[in-house]
Structure 1
Amino acid sequence: MLKISPERFSFSLLSNFPVGCCEFTSYMLAKFFTEERAISDIKMVHGENQFKKSQRHVWLKVMGYDVDITANQFSSTDKTVFCTTDSIWHYSRFKIFESHQPNVKFDHFHEEYQEQLLSDYQMVLKDLEP
């Protein structure tokens, strides 16, 4: 995501990565784990900041690991990526209010957003190729 220039994203919110796009990038990452790595043990975790109730965050729980590629949007951490079991940063800061298996087809989004996200996902995937 960081290697792609912001103006290349169809889904404009992604151009602010990592700020404000934790849910959408988590869906994209879940799609990658599901389709490219055949991992099915994935949950999308939604948390509310215990210190600032208006702030929410989304990350993945993958095979018991907390995986978060947008945590560095918060000043309380300088980690770019979290991939750890029972992340102290997440569970001391956020109260979990929802956890579910992500819809990696994106068909729960409005059709225009679905097309943009799928297009951006393909672009990111292509950028990963050696």
Structure 2
Amino acid sequence: MKDSIIIDIRKIRAALESFDKSDFHYNTSFSQCLNGFPSGCCGDTSNLLGLFLKNAYGKDSTYISGKGLGNNREQSHAWLVCDGYIIDITADQFNSIGYNLDKVIVSTSSDFHESFSRINRHEINYDSLGKTPISDVLHKVNERIRNLTPAI
């Protein structure tokens, strides 16, 4: 994966961390998550990243949802796969239960992601996603990144 894409993914993570829950549309997990980003925000974050990668780089992604982590059959998580890379900027929410995961994962393999017992995949529908509050969140994130990044 190109360094420029990874840098942009890191910027998105930093921007999402800089917001308060109240900054987001009420109908997103960014607003509803109890403990704040990234906890409970993996689905909307994966959709946001997929929409970003499509808009900024013309890249299609696959949305992956996993269920059944370790002894917890109901534990779920979501991430993207794009060009053969696992992209996940919310996996560190599992560090509170004993994992040691980076804030930003862009990798061709991951023991953590492979440990889910049930995996579902679907292609992202960019047209319908562009008409949801996730599109508004992406706009806010892009604005925040522009305001935080010094002009060169």
Distance of 1:28 and 1:13 partners within structure 2 = 11
Distance of 2:29 and 2:69 partners within structure 1 = 25
Distance of 2:118 and 2:57 partners within structure 1 = 26
Identify the residue that residue 64 of structure 1 maps to in structure 2: 84
2:94 paired residue among 74, 99, 103: 74
Structure 2, unmatched stretches of 5+, are 1-15
Write the deviation string for residues 8-55 of structure 1: whole angstroms up to 9, x where unpaired. 111452042111110111000000000111112x11111112421111
Identify the residue that residue 103 of structure 1 maps to in structure 2: 125
1:87 paired residue among 110, 119, 142: 110
Name the amino acid aligned to 1:97: I
Runs (4+) of structure 1 exceeding 4 A deviation are none
Q: Secondary structure at the match of 2:38?
A: coil
Whether the 8 Å contact between 1:28 and 1:104 is mirrored in structure 2 is no
Deviates more, 1:77-86 or 1:53-62: 77-86
Q: Secondary structure at the match of 1:105?
A: helix
The normalised TM-score by structure 2 is: 0.72
Deviation at 1:96, TM superposition (A): 4.0
Name the amino acid aligned to 2:29: L
Structure 1, unmatched stretches of 5+, are none
Deviation at 1:107, TM superposition (A): 4.8
Q: Does 1:126 align with 2:152?
A: no
Distance of 1:64 and 1:9 partners within structure 2 = 31
1:10 paired residue among 18, 21, 25: 25
Q: Secondary structure at the match of 1:67?
A: strand
How many residues get paired? 123
Whether the 8 Å contact between 1:46 and 1:99 is mirrored in structure 2 is yes
Percent identical: 26
Whether the 8 Å contact between 2:90 and 2:104 is mirrored in structure 1 is yes
